[in-house]
Chains A and B, each alone.
Chain A
Amino acid sequence: MTAYAPAAVFFAVAGLAPLVVRDAFLLDSLVLILIWGAAAAAWNIAGGYAGQVSLGHSAFFGLGAYAAALCSTRWGISPWIGMVIGALIAMATGFAIGFLSNRLRGPYFVLATIAFSQVLLIGASRWRGFTAGSEGIPVPFHAGFWTLGIADKRVWVWIVLVLAVLVYLVQVYLERSRRGFQLAAVREDEDAALSLGVPARRLKIAAIAVSAAFTAVCGALWAQYVGFVDPAYVFSVDISIKFSLAAIIGGLGTALGPFLGSVLVTTVETYLRAQFGGIEARFVGIYLILYGCALILMVRFAPQGFVGWIGDRLRRRSVAQATS
């Protein structure tokens, strides 16, 4: 079980931190780290484990955010139910995308997913009657757990921690189960996997659908936490890239990687936003320059990410010790 010790420590620290930390800024950072980490991990289910690299995952994130926000503002339904509805819609959409673009590989799949998220972006910003258009939706605050009107950031940490652990467990399942191994076979060589009787198509579609559902849940919680849904943000290519970046930095196809990646990515972003937000908004762009350079350097020098790199080191050391 030593393989899961780092993750246990990570989640335990995150869960216990609110008992000690009172600083609102730190707690806020922790909530965001866990939400983006969970979203990156959800992306990792499709992009890392199934090899279905998508740059349109903001579509699912936005669907979740809108479902929860519209349910509470338009129909007075609890955002919890909105979250479930959003997850179901995203799951169905994920099925459809996976089914329709099943033949597409590599850059073609990326292009299809980008186009899809752009369609939703334009739809959400133009369909004024339903989504309030490009102004976005402010989510009103109604105190109470059922309405997700929670002012105490410590409670938020625990809520998103539950989500993070859930997505983590799905990833662990993909690392240990027969289905997970089959999925890895499909990722590495689809034709070989097919010839061994692995239901490649079904597995890929399922991975995309599950990934979509969890991404939508992240979107729903994010919208309720931040209190505002802006179509240009929730459906942007930028946040799709953010999910993939956190997963790549941490380690593509590793369970803890996306969360570690999110620690880094979110911290840099929050820091620069706090430094420059408001006065010189354009300097916030610095974190995106760093994102871009980090992406180029990571895929070139450490395509296995931090987790893969450290794992490599440890293995080498133990081999060296065994032979000496």
Chain B
Amino acid sequence: MGPAEIARPAPLHDIPQLIVSTILLGGIYALIAVGLTLIFGVMRVVNFAHGEFLMLAMYVAFWAFSLLRSDPYLTLVVSLPLFFAAGWLSYRAVMRPVIQASHTVQIFTTVGLSIALQNVALVLWTADARFVRTDYYAAIVRLFGAAFNVAQIVAFAIAVAATAALFAFMRWSYTGKLMRATAQDRDASSLMGIDTDRVYAVTWAVGITCVGVAGVLLAPIYPVYPTAGLQFVLIAYVAVVLGGLGDMAGALIAALLVAAVEVVGSYVLGTSWKEMLYLLVFIGILIVRPAGLFGQRGAEALGT
């Protein structure tokens, strides 16, 4: 069960469909990848629990829909502050004590968080795949000779808006400046009087908020189950490494590239092998150019 399966209504034999599919898919991947790369860039931590926050956001959308009949896009209003708070709390409780620790410690901390969250979902809500079936679930829009699900287009539009907002925040807001300064040199910014601990908390919370929004947007398109995060986060890892860990603009372009690989791959090879394809691309990148397309060579060996 993979992302492009539903993203690809039959019949499919034209290039416009592939291009628009790529762009729509890439927009959502970008939002997931940008949060991941932001956290890495500022905190130097790879968040292995990123996919679990995505899955939790999908569940939030699902429960809001099935219990309160709330439209998934309306849920965003609640889930945005909710995931910011969840991010802040999880930073305080879990990440803060290990922020200066070794890579091994940080890796296993986020991995531990990942399994714990995944199985909390399993125990609470069982392994059943659940669906958010909105009234406009089957609505189709035709453009450029290609057919598209409305949910996908809305998800794309909101994802792009959220990503743009994040870029603007990083570029122009004072907090964004502090985050960029900390990313460049945490010791120097600490000496300049920046409260790096607060910066990390905000960074982690913003990263989690990105994925919280993405999860709500994905809920009407893909089934929701406890391990749903894994497939998306694997794609996000590919995009993030390809774009250069910590490079937000790079992650954006790479997300589109990964979406293209996935869409074209499933078109040519069929959906069952396309995951294999992007994983092999991923391993290839890690071996040949681990610093990513635009990153500096050698970053991976410095262990930054």
Closest beta carbon of chain B to A194's beta carbon, Å: 12
Interface positions, chain A 284-311, Cβ under 8 Å from B, are 285-286, 288-289, 291-296, 298-300, 303
Asked whether A170 is an interface residue with its Cβ less than 8 Å from the other chain, the reply is no
Asked whether A178 is an interface residue with its Cβ less than 8 Å from the other chain, the reply is no
* A106 and B123 form a contact (CB under 8 A): no
Which of chain A's residues have a CB closer than 8 A to the CB of B119? 285-286, 288-289, 292
The interface stretch among A66-74, A76-84, A113-121 is A113-121
Interface positions, chain A 83-139, Cβ under 8 Å from B, are 100-101, 103-108, 110-112, 115-116, 118-119, 122-123, 126
Which of chain B's residues have a CB closer than 8 A to the CB of A103? 290, 300-301
* B46 and A293 form a contact (CB under 8 A): no
Which of chain A's residues have a CB closer than 8 A to the CB of B280? 119
Q: Given that A103-B290, A248-B108, A282-B126 are known contacts, is A238 also in contact with B98, CB under 8 Å in the complex?
A: no
In the complex, what distance in Å separates the CA atom of A300 from the CA atom of B95? 10
* A292 and B286 form a contact (CB under 8 A): no
Q: Given that A293-B112, A300-B98 are known contacts, is A115 also in contact with B286, CB under 8 Å in the complex?
A: yes
* B112 and A295 form a contact (CB under 8 A): yes
* B276 and A119 form a contact (CB under 8 A): yes
Size bracket of the B interface: 35 or more
* B107 and A107 form a contact (CB under 8 A): yes
> Which one of A252, A288, A298 has the highest number of Cβ atoms from chain B below 10 Å of its Cβ?
A288
Which of chain B's residues have a CB closer than 8 A to the CB of A285? 119, 122-123
Bitwise interface map of B from 198 to 240 toward A, beta carbon under 8 Å scored 1, else 0 = 0000000000000000000000000000000010001001000
* B286 and A299 form a contact (CB under 8 A): no
Interface positions, chain A 21-58, Cβ under 8 Å from B, are 51, 53, 55
Secondary structure at chain A's binding surface: helix, strand, loop or mixed? Answer: helix
In the complex, what distance in Å separates the CA atom of A51 from the CA atom of B272? 35
* B97 and A295 form a contact (CB under 8 A): no
Interface positions, chain B 47-69, Cβ under 8 Å from A, are 48
In the complex, what distance in Å separates the CA atom of A298 from the CA atom of B245? 28
Asked whether A244 is an interface residue with its Cβ less than 8 Å from the other chain, the reply is yes
Asked whether B303 is an interface residue with its Cβ less than 8 Å from the other chain, the reply is yes
Which of chain A's residues have a CB closer than 8 A to the CB of B115? 238, 241, 288-289, 291-292, 295
Q: Given that A108-B300, A126-B276 are known contacts, is A296 also in contact with B290, CB under 8 Å in the complex?
A: no
| Closest B residue to A112 using CB positions | B286
Interface positions, chain A 237-293, Cβ under 8 Å from B, are 237-238, 241, 244, 248, 252, 281-283, 285-286, 288-289, 291-293
In the complex, what distance in Å separates the CA atom of A296 from the CA atom of B115? 10
Q: Given that A53-B104, A111-B46 are known contacts, is A296 also in contact with B112, CB under 8 Å in the complex?
A: yes
Asked whether B241 is an interface residue with its Cβ less than 8 Å from the other chain, the reply is yes
* A126 and B272 form a contact (CB under 8 A): yes
* A292 and B103 form a contact (CB under 8 A): no
* B46 and A299 form a contact (CB under 8 A): no
Give the 3 A-B CB pairs with smallest separation, nearest first: A292-B116, A295-B112, A106-B103
Question: Could you list 17 further interchain pairs (A-B, Cβ under 8 angstroms) beyond the known A126-B276, A293-B112?
Answer: A100-B287, A104-B286, A104-B290, A105-B301, A107-B107, A111-B241, A112-B286, A118-B275, A122-B279, A237-B230, A281-B127, A288-B119, A296-B109, A299-B101, A299-B112, A300-B98, A300-B109
B residues adjacent to A (C-beta < 8 A): 46, 48, 94, 97-98, 101, 103-105, 107-109, 111-120, 122-123, 126-127, 230, 234, 237, 241, 245, 272-273, 275-276, 279-280, 282-283, 286-287, 290, 300-301, 303
Sample of 9 A–B contacts (CB below 8 Å) = A51-B104, A103-B290, A105-B303, A112-B286, A237-B230, A286-B119, A292-B115, A293-B116, A300-B109
